[in-house]
Amino acid sequence: MPNPTAIIQARMASSRLPGKVMKEICGKPMLAWVADRARQAKAIDSILVATTLDPSDDVIASFCALSGIPIFRGDPLDVLDRYYQAALRNNADPVIRLTADCPLIDPSLIDSMVGMFSEMNVDFIANRLPPPFQRTYPIGLDIEICSFQALASAWQLAKEPFEREHVMPYIYTHKDQFNIHVVNAERDYGNLRWTVDTPQDLEFIKKVIEHMHCRLDFSWHDVLKLVQDHPELSKINAGTRHKTLHDVDDRMTDKD
Domain count, the chain: 1
Q: To 5 degrees, how large is the angle CA 166–CA 60–CA 99?
A: 30
DSSP structure class, residue 8: E
pLDDT range class, residue 2, cuts 50, 70, 90: confident
95, containing H or E segment = strand 95-99
Work out the mean pLDDT of the chain and round it to a whole number. 93
pLDDT in tens, 119-177: 999 999 999 987 778 899 999 999 999 999 999 999 999 999 999 999 999 999 999 99
Q: Which domain holds residue 47?
A: 5-253
Residue 183: CATH number of its domain: 3.90.550.10
CB 197 within 8 A of CB 21: no
pLDDT in tens, 179-198: 999 999 999 999 999 999 99
